[in-house]
Amino acid sequence: MKTLLLPLLTGLSLLAAPLHAELDRPVVVELFTSQGCSACPEADAMLAELAPRDDIIALALHVDYWDYIGWKDPFGDPAHAERQRAYAAVGGRRSVFTPELIVQGQTDIMGAKPMKLMEAIEQHAQTAPTVALEIARTGAALQIRAEPLGADVGPATVHLLRYSPEEQTKVTRGENAGRMMTHANIVHGWTVLGSWDGATPLALQAEAPGEAPVVVLIQEQEAGGGPGPILAAARLR
């Protein structure tokens, strides 16, 4: 997961017009998964059902720690496993589990449990937004604007990521040997753009070349630097 230190600009004319909070803000669902894990296909299918929805940003983060079993996941990224371990540390958990779902950076669900997942999504969808976020793209340039709604929301991290909407892989070894696996919204190119104080309006620009969907997350920083609640999310398909 790369860190890109860009200037976080405030007080510019870009922010002259007020932002409008999306009352039906998208809920972010992160699935930590692996092609080497026999328990993961059911969770992969759950995420694929959520992927087309506008009110949910479904993200598949393939981890690399199953690769030793005999099949190297072509989408596995050690940065994804690092993010999962960071969530575990914040939650006081000593280990990670695959598949694992994290909803809005707060609610963790071990295994493929559709009822618990939908309950968590509904709960977070009903929470009033604390940050207004808008993104727009002109060519390869992505404009990002955010501002707190009411009180100071505190320090936050601005993330930029891309994803591939669908990929298929014929798995020939490991626990899923012989299966043709289909995955939705496979995350790649995750970049940390920088930090935001959460008190003053934010405006920044980032590069987002190509046609892959773009997602921006504003995520609260815990005291120890770990990932906290996702305060706002926006996507361009």
Q: How confident is the model at residue 225 (pLDDT cuts 50, 70, 90)?
A: confident
- Residues in Cβ contact with 148 at an 8 Å cutoff, skipping those fewer than 6 apart: 130, 131, 132, 198, 199
CATH 2.60.40.10 describes domain 2-11+25-236: yes
Q: How confident is the model at residue 23 (pLDDT cuts 50, 70, 90)?
A: very low
| Closest alpha carbon to 235 in 8, 33, 50, 11 | 50
Average pLDDT on 95-99 reads 95
Domain extents in the chain: 2-11+25-236
pLDDT for residue 21 is more than 90: no
Q: Report the alpha-carbon distance of residue 53 to residue 19 in Å, rounded.
A: 23
For 106-161, the pLDDT digits (tens) are 999 999 999 999 999 999 999 999 999 999 999 999 999 999 998 889 999 999 99
**CB–CB of 203/216 below 8 Å?**
no
**CB–CB of 31/60 below 8 Å?**
yes
Give kind and range of the element (H or E) at residue 147. Answer: strand 141-148
CA 32 to centroid of chain Cα atoms:
11
Of all residues in the chain, the percent with pLDDT exceeding 70 is: 90
**CB–CB of 209/148 below 8 Å?**
no
According to the model, what pLDDT value does residue 84 have? Answer: 98
